[in-house]
């Protein structure tokens, strides 16, 4: 009961059981044992390159995996399609980015990150006002997306 004697609001939650299979993501290269034995530096270089390749494959799976076979189901394949709300500006990539965040908020979620294609990020960095001034910043000083 609240101070005024009215009943407090009650939340009702529903959960359902779901399975999420574990997937192994790999990245390989072929090199002879002799080449590895000849140079510790070579082994370290290959290890670094393989880890980088594995990170790229993991990112690709998390973003765009199709869920078939051993592939993950990626965010892009299950995300709700973007739909611009009526009456709000939807002219630039910055507009669409902000409206995408609005769409997430209206679905009662909180965005904690944004993933942009490098072409979209470049277009945002190069966007100018009517006087030819960069809106987001100076492209000579590379900003982090």
Q: The whole model's pTM is what?
A: 0.63
Q: Copy the structure tokens of residue 131.
A: 């006087």
Contact 25, 31 (CB under 8 A): no
Residue 8 or 110, more confident:
110
102 CB neighbour count, 10 Å cutoff: 14
User: For the chain, what are the domain ranges?
Assistant: 33-76, 80-114
Question: pLDDT per residue over 60-113, tens digit each?
Answer: 999 999 999 989 999 999 988 888 888 998 888 999 999 999 999 999 999 999
| Phi, psi angle pair for 27, to nearest 5° | -150, 125
Average pLDDT in the chain: 85
pLDDT band at 3 (very low <50, low <70, confident <90, very high): low
Helices assigned H by DSSP within 29-74: 33-38, 40-64
Reply yes or no on whether the pLDDT at 41 is more than 90.
no
What is the gyration radius of the CA atoms in the chain, in angstroms?
Answer: 24
């Amino acid at each position: 009961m609240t101070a005024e004697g009215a009943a407090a609001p009650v939340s009702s939650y529903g959960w359902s059981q779901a399975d999420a299979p574990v997937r192994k993501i790999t990245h390989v290269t072929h090199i002879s044992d002799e080449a590895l034995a000849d140079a510790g530096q070579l082994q370290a270089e290959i290890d670094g390159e393989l880890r980088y390749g594995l990170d790229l494959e993991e990112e690709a799976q998390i973003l765009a995996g199709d869920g078939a076979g051993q592939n993950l189901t990626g965010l892009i394949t299950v995300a709700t399609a973007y739909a611009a709300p009526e009456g709000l500006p939807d002219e630039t990539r910055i507009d669409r980015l902000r409206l995408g965040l609005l769409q997430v908020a209206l679905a009662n979620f909180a965005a904690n990150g944004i993933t942009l294609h490098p072409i979209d990020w470049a277009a945002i960095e190069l966007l100018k006002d009517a006087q030819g001034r960069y809106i987001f910043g100076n492209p000579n000083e590379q900003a982090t997306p």
